Amino acid sequence: MSSGLQAIIGLIIAVIVLIVLILKTKIHAFLALIIAAGIAGIIGGLSPDKVAGLISTGFGNTLASIGIVIGFGVMMGSILEDSGAAETMALTFLKLFGPGGEEWALAFTGYVVSIPIFCDSGFVILFPIAKALSKKTRKSIVSVGVALAAGLVATHHLVPPTPGPLGAAGIFNADIGQVIIWGLLMSIPIVIATTLYAKWLGKKIYQLPEGDNWIRPSSSEKTNTPETGKTKEVEEKTKSNLPSALSSFAPIVVPLILILLNTVLTAVKAKGVFVNYLLFFGSPVVAVGVGLIVAIYALMPHEPKSKVIETMEKGIKSAGIIILITGAGGALGYVLRQTGAGDYIAKGIAQSKIPAFLIPFLIATLVRLVQGSGTVAMITSASISAPILATLNINPVFATLAAASGAFIFSYFNDSYYWVVNRLMGITDVREQIRTWSVTTTIAWAVSFVILLVASFFIH
């Protein structure tokens, strides 16, 4: 254990180097996190040979808990994409919300779809439905498109098995079942607030599809065109060759039910042989594996084995870097624990009036603004703040949601999703791009901050 001041110096230099490497060099975030872990350990007073071992241990310990879940989750996401299940979910919500409720339908489609699927992929998959609805109902593509994108980003940030919150939960050692429950609940007011903004914004930026191009009708054209929500044609056109709603939702719902059962049974301290089996199937690794099996046989029952394997391997390719970044974040956090930096900072915070949940929230906010990736922001925040919060007796579920929420802030040029959303909707003016997506994510950030602030009075 090094001295407190030395450990703090090591932490500060490591964070500065991490930000510079990610922002100003060609070095990948994975390597940057490993370098930062080494710097934090060596400057923090640990012997170099010990630091190397700590990095390996921290990396392995983190992935032991969530690496398999990330792999299963992205494989399931690929099947949902390729089978058309995502489109079925959209049509189901369109039917549920009825004529005139297209924004809400797409928002809650995104809310569900983005639990296992990356929001970028989900938006690309579902955008043709948003475009068709805009054309048929004469609602601005901005209105329906932003609602869809916001629904996707809400659960992408807050609900495992999406890699960001899952990685943060692993680093904080939080109960994944509880993170899912609270993440789902916390996402709802975020979806409502951003959808209301989307409906308002659609009136300010009134853009419609016309063939492969976009048009801006005049005020009179807009007024004379009733927005009656004629979704029937869209539904009929898109229904062909799509899986049923039951098959489409099952791969997501089944593991969620199993994990929630595990959480409830653990909380009430239930006993018995049958309970033990339920706890086994409700562990995140097994539950998501069950969901993957359901997806394979419910959504691709007649596809040849080679096609199914190819689909799942496509998902595995996208999982690789997320798994590496998550493991590297765990390595950094583990090294920081060993230097004692967390203990030293925690003592100062305990004597101050700063709410402890602000630490992961603000770190994630800063990292997101600097380098753009929400996933990297969450994992970096968890890595830095976990050693600090561990000595303050902060609920790890609350800490996970704080780190995930901070990463909502002001998506702009260095975020790939910013470009996906704006380019697909044909928004090219920078000021309109910022109003369309940067403001939307900042609303999500502000709403999540208020929720965390209120929750901090009840959750400890």
Vertex 322, ends 383 and 172: CA angle to 5°?
A: 30
pLDDT of 224 reads 44
pLDDT digits (tens, 9 = 90+) for 33-79: 899 889 989 998 888 889 999 999 988 887 876 778 778 877 887 88
Task: Say whether pLDDT at 112 is over 60.
Answer: yes
Across 11-15, 94-98, 106-110, the highest mean pLDDT is recorded for 106-110
Per-chain mean pLDDT for the chain: 83
Mean pLDDT of 420-428: 84
Task: Say whether pLDDT at 17 is over 60.
Answer: yes
Residue 1: band (very low, low, confident or very high) from pLDDT cuts 50, 70, 90: very low
pLDDT digits (tens, 9 = 90+) for 281-339: 988 788 888 989 999 999 998 889 999 999 888 877 767 776 787 788 778 878 877 88
pLDDT digits (tens, 9 = 90+) for 247-279: 988 888 888 788 778 877 876 778 888 889 888
pTM for the complete prediction? 0.71
pLDDT of 195 reads 96
Give residue limits of the domains in the chain. 4-455
Q: Which of 126-130, 252-256, 342-346 has the lowest mean pLDDT?
A: 342-346
